């Protein structure tokens, strides 16, 4: 790696003679997407936003799992507004980044971790990787995934993942369109894709192509995220069950739902 930098939670490096920005979640095994991780990812993207030679980003993770998701503590009522604001700013930064963002996934890719992956471009994964939005089990929902899943799969499949909280493996995720390609080594597959399809291209042309193909969707994403965030903060978090579910998880007990 060249031009490397690291925080306590993220490794960032320019590779392929500066044409590829590699971002590695570096707090295994959970790689929790908490405020520190979100801030480090945002800073790394911001630092390269003016790099006109950049032709791609690779987002991967150390350890056996991509990410277990966001910090449950940061979902509590007195902290969730700040958490959602920073996460959704990162989602918009990834979705609107000027060059393609490739994502390599092993193991669990859940909750906020999956939301971050969804905001990128092609996902390369192992057949036994696990993708899911388990927030509903805690009495809440996944705002960003609610806005992003239908970019990749049909509405029924998206609602299934959001409302059941179940996980699907990489093979099923590939069948549904969530995963672009299956590979025993997803990082190697993503790098091969970059070398063949992105490195030889003009960075200016890539930027304009993404702007053209994503222009309308980015406008809709910004509006949908704002709407979902308001629903979460102004309605959901005033329900008894949302606060019960989060408290039960932290106390390692089963929640008692009152459906209100």
Residue 4 has pLDDT above 80, yes or no: no
| Domain parsing of the chain, residue ranges | 2-188
Encoding tokens for residue 12?
């960032």
CATH topology of domain 2-188: 2-enoyl-CoA Hydratase; Chain A, domain 1 (3.90.226)
Nearest to 117 by CA among 52, 191, 57: 57
At residue 170 the predicted structure's pLDDT band, cuts being 50, 70 and 90, is very high
Residue 236 reports pLDDT greater than 80? yes
Task: For residue 7, name the pLDDT band (cuts at 50, 70, 90).
Answer: confident
Q: What value does the mean pLDDT of the chain take? A: 96
Phi and psi at 210, nearest 5°, equal -65, -40
Say what the pLDDT of residue 1 is. 39
Confidence band, pLDDT 50/70/90 cuts, at residue 8: confident
What does the pLDDT read at residue 99? 97
Q: Which residues pair with 103 in a beta bridge?
A: 59, 123
Query: Sorting pLDDT into bands at 50, 70 and 90, what band is 2?
Result: very low
pLDDT in tens, 52-97: 999 999 999 999 999 999 999 998 988 999 999 999 999 999 999 9
CA–CA dist 220, 180 (Å, integer): 23
Does position 247 have pLDDT exceeding 60, yes or no? yes
User: Which tokens is 134 given?
Assistant: 């388990």
**pLDDT value of position 93:** 98
Percent of the chain with pLDDT over 70: 98
What distance in Å separates the CA atoms of residue 57 and residue 35, rounded to the nearest whole number?
A: 21
Residue that has been written with the tokens 């493996």 in this structure: 169
Q: Does residue 133 contact residue 165 with C-beta atoms inside 8 Å?
A: yes
Residues near 214 by beta carbon (within 8 Å), at least 6 away in sequence: 95, 96
Joined together, the tokens standing for residue 136 give: 């509903």
CA distances in angstroms from 189 to 2, 11, 62, 168, listed in the order given = 20, 20, 16, 21
Are 47 and 84 in contact, with CB atoms under 8 Å apart? no
pLDDT, average across residues 36-58: 97
| Residue 202: HSE in the Cβ half-sphere, 13 Å Cα cutoff | 4
pLDDT digits (tens, 9 = 90+) for 177-224: 999 999 999 999 999 999 999 999 999 999 999 999 999 999 999 999
Give me the mean pLDDT over the 86-115 stretch.
Answer: 98
Q: What is residue 12's DSSP assignment?
A: E
Q: What is the pLDDT, as a whole number, of residue 25?
A: 98
Give the tens place of pLDDT for each residue, 130-164: 999 999 999 999 999 999 999 999 999 999 999 99
| % the chain with pLDDT above 90 | 95
């Amino acid at each position: 790696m060249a031009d490397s930098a690291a925080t306590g939670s993220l490794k960032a490096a320019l590779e392929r003679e500066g044409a590829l920005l590699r971002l590695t979640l570096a707090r295994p095994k959970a790689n929790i997407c908490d405020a520190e991780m979100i801030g480090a990812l945002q800073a790394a993207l911001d630092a390269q936003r003016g790099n006109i030679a950049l032709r791609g980003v690779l987002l991967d993770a150390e350890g056996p799992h991509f990410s277990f998701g966001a910090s449950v503590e940061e979902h509590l009522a007195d902290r969730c507004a700040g958490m959602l604001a920073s996460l959704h700013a990162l989602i918009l930064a990834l979705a609107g980044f000027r060059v393609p963002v490739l994502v390599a996934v092993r193991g669990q890719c859940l909750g906020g971790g999956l939301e971050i992956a969804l905001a990128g471009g092609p996902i390369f994964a192992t057949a036994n990787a696990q993708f899911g939005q388990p927030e509903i089990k805690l009495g809440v929902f996944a705002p960003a995934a609610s806005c992003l899943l239908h970019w990749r799969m049909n509405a029924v499949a998206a609602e299934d993942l959001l409302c059941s909280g179940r996980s699907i493996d990489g093979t099923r995720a590939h069948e549904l369109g969530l995963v672009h390609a299956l590979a025993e080594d997803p990082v190697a597959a993503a790098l091969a894709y970059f070398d063949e399809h992105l490195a030889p291209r003009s960075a200016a042309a890539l930027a304009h192509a993404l702007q053209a193909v994503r222009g309308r969707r980015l406008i809709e994403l910004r509006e949908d995220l704002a709407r979902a965030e308001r629903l979460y903060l102004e309605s959901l978090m005033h329900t008894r069950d949302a606060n019960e579910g989060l408290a039960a998880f932290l106390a390692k007990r089963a929640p008692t739902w009152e459906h209100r």
